[in-house]
Amino acid sequence: MKFFIDTGNLAQIKEANELGILDGVTTNPSLMAQVGVKGEAAIAAHYKAICDIVDGDISAEVLSTDFATMVEEGKKLAAIHPNIVVKVPMIKDGINNLFWLLKNLNQI
């Protein structure tokens, strides 16, 4: 079994990590907005901060719904840190994007 915390709150992530049982973090821009993190640069910095806390998979979600933009977003997210796992919507272009990301970045 693996334990992932689903939040954008750094204090909660630190607390869970200090318990020694945290395998990773699932978060997204909506959860980050709840703690005041908004805008592309702030969101990217927040993902990086999470990666600096947790040595495990950190999910990072693309916001677009078309293939080309998802690819660009996925590349930017994957470049933040090797522990980033890119999440895409389960729509036709999202499924096509999964294959592209797996083949080219291996971070899905």
Q: Which residues are catalytic, by number?
A: 87
Can you say whether the dihedral through the CA atoms of 38, 11, 81, 87 is positive or negative?
negative
Residues sharing a CB contact under 8 Å with residue 68, sequence separation 6 or more, in sequence order = none
Give me the amino acid identity at 72.
E
DSSP character string of 48-101: HHHHHH-SSEEEEE----SHHHHHHHHHHHHHH-TTEEEE--SSHHHHHHHHHH
